[in-house]
Amino acid sequence: MTKKDLLALLEGVRDGSVAPDEAARKLRAAPFEDLGFAKVDHARALRQGAAEVVYGEGKTAEQVCAIVRKLREGGARTVLATRLSADKAAALAAAEPDAAYDPASRLAVVGPLPEPDGAGEICVCAAGTSDLPVAEEAARTAEALGNRVVRLYDVGVSGLERLLAHVGDLQRARVVVVVAGMEGALASVVGGLVDVPVVAVPTSVGYGAAFEGLAALLAMLNSCASGVSVVNIDNGFGAGFLASRINHP
């Protein structure tokens, strides 16, 4: 049951087209199945073809596997499991042989990647090598949700020529995701080079007065370039997910 279905149901009750008891039955039954330890949320399937998402942090390997199984039995073609430690990923691979795991971003994709069906490309830029795990989390999330992704890595502002050598890629994108720690200046520079939405992801890369990503977070919130918005520190998944929404009108 997608959110649209849910809202349609509620509207139906209100306009009389759906009987209340029918609606109540559906409401209780549909949106989640109870596995004892967690409610499997079927409502997150946004479009035909895109992946379902399982958030792996704080769940046991058994729980992750059970939820993935349930989702696939419920018809999901592709399932994305995030924040998955290596041992949980191993358990998942044992249970679902077509699971592909990336240790850097700690993402697993179970099932085939969907065909890209977004309006354009998503460009993921990362400032430094240490930002790559978060950047990959964004990029792979976007791919699993049906987007074509272009990666521009190691293009931090202290070597502007590296970024300028790729203005064409930036120009072509429908959305740009900027991943940067330390002073997070890349978001402003990219924001000044493009005319499309920029999703900025501060990372906890840096030390001392970086304060675990606070410096980059504040910098990005105060970007002098218009068209930049910010997600939580290290939230590559959130950036990829949002970029996909922007790219799927």
Pairwise CA distance, residues 219 & 200, whole Å: 10
Site membership for a copy of itself, residue 236 (CB under 8 A): no
Site membership for a copy of itself, residue 7 (CB under 8 A): yes
Are β-strands 107-110 and 148-153 bridged in parallel, bridged antiparallel, or unpaired? unpaired
Phi-psi region of 214 (alpha: psi -120 to 50; beta: other; left: phi over 0): alpha
Site string for a copy of itself, 196-225 (x = CB under 8 A): xx-x--x-xxxxxxxxxxxxxxxxxxxxxx
Phi, psi torsion values for 7, nearest 5 degrees = -65, -35
Site membership for a copy of itself, residue 15 (CB under 8 A): yes
Least distance (Å) from a copy of itself to the CB of residue 98?
24
Pick 84 or 242: Cβ nearer a copy of itself: 242
- Largest pairwise CA distance in the chain: 65
Q: Which stretch binds a copy of itself (CB under 8 A): 14-22, 70-78, 85-93, 94-102?
A: 14-22
Is 163 in contact with 157 (CB distance < 8 Å)?
yes
Least distance (Å) from a copy of itself to the CB of residue 169?
11
Pairwise CA distance, residues 186 & 194, whole Å: 12
Site string for a copy of itself, 53-82 (x = CB under 8 A): x---xxx-----------------------
Pick 97 or 195: Cβ nearer a copy of itself: 195
Pick 58 or 97: Cβ nearer a copy of itself: 58
Q: Which of residues 125-184 bind a copy of itself (CB under 8 A)?
A: 127-130, 154, 156-162, 164-165, 167-168, 171, 174, 182-184
Render 20-87 in DSSP notation, one character per residue: HHHHHHHHHHSSEEE-SS-EEEGGG--STTSPEEEE-TT--HHHHHHHHHHHHHTT-S-EEEES--HH
Least distance (Å) from a copy of itself to the CB of residue 67?
11
# binding residues, a copy of itself (CB under 8 A): 108
Token output for 213: 């990503």
Least distance (Å) from a copy of itself to the CB of residue 97?
27
